Amino acid sequence: MSTKIMLAVSAVITGLCVIVACNEGAETSAAETPAPATTASFGGYESQEKWGEHLVTIGGCNDCHTPKKMGPNGPEPDMSQMLSGHPAQQPPPPFDQKEAAAKGLAVTQTLTAWIGPWGNTYAANLTPDSTGLAGWTEAQFIKCLREGKSKGLDNNRPLLPPMPWQEIGQMTDGELKAVFAYLKSIPPVKNVVPEAVIAAAPAAK
Ligand code: HEC
């Protein structure tokens, strides 16, 4: 019995040594033949924009920032208006604070305008048009998503729901820069998104 255990233990140890040796070998050969800078810097994608496109796709930005049209299987993103925010030509739904507090959340069929106890919010135009991100710097974009500040400016209001900046802001600097680079590369769409209507703070009890 004890010999079997000894054998098993030594087999495991040998196995571990092999694994360690393999890893060491892999490290040495990786160091000798470094991967091309492009794949190493862009999350495995060929360019910063492609990496950003991937992050925007998995980050669900189209879900809220691209207007929807009805298709055979329900609402689908209207990619001719990709990431252009709540369409200006659609009248903003009226905001009734009492109703919002009582009924909770409502959303337009474009899934770009939201009504809740916080007020009315409209998904922003993220395209590189002057009505979107054209005038933004990279630093502003990062500040906006890290700190939840409208337009990434210190004295501006906080971003309101349902913009999930608390999660998106946890992207690394490299990821946020890639998202910004991608957004700067997409077709610009002229669309002045309505201003948010901010509900009065609830009365203190
Ligand atoms: C669940 C819906 C939702 C998702 C998902 C979403 N957003 Fe938003 N986003 C909004 C809304 C609504 C606003 C407007 C908030 C406000 O006015 O306070 C907004 C605002 C923004 C702003 C601020 C614009 C400004 O003028 O300050 C940026 C930048 C932004 N979103 C980027 C993104 C990116 C990038 C993604 C994906 C990684 C994303 N959003 C995903 C709903 C969403």
- Residue 16 maps to a domain: no
What is the DSSP pairing of strand 74-77 with strand 106-107? unpaired
What pTM did the predictor assign? 0.82
Protein residue closest via CA to atom 12 of ligand 1 = 123
- Residue 6 maps to a domain: no
Lining residues, ligand 1, CB within 6 Å = 56, 59-61, 63-65, 114, 121, 123-124, 126, 144, 150-151, 159-160, 162-164, 168, 179, 196
- Residue 24 maps to a domain: no
Query: Which residue has tokens 């309505």?
Result: 194
Residue 146 clears pLDDT 80, i.e. is over it: yes
Containing domain of residue 123, as a range? 44-88+95-198
CB 158 within 8 A of CB 143: no
The token duo for 3 is: 């010999």
List, for residues 11-61, the tens digit of each pLDDT value: 444 444 344 444 444 444 545 665 555 456 899 999 999 999 999 999 999
Protein residue closest via CA to atom 11 of ligand 1 = 123
Q: Residue 26 has what pLDDT?
A: 46
- Residue 29 maps to a domain: no
- Residue 32 maps to a domain: no
Total domain count, the chain: 1
Protein residue closest via CA to atom 8 of ligand 1 = 163
Residue 148 clears pLDDT 70, i.e. is over it: yes
What is the identity of the amino acid at 205? K
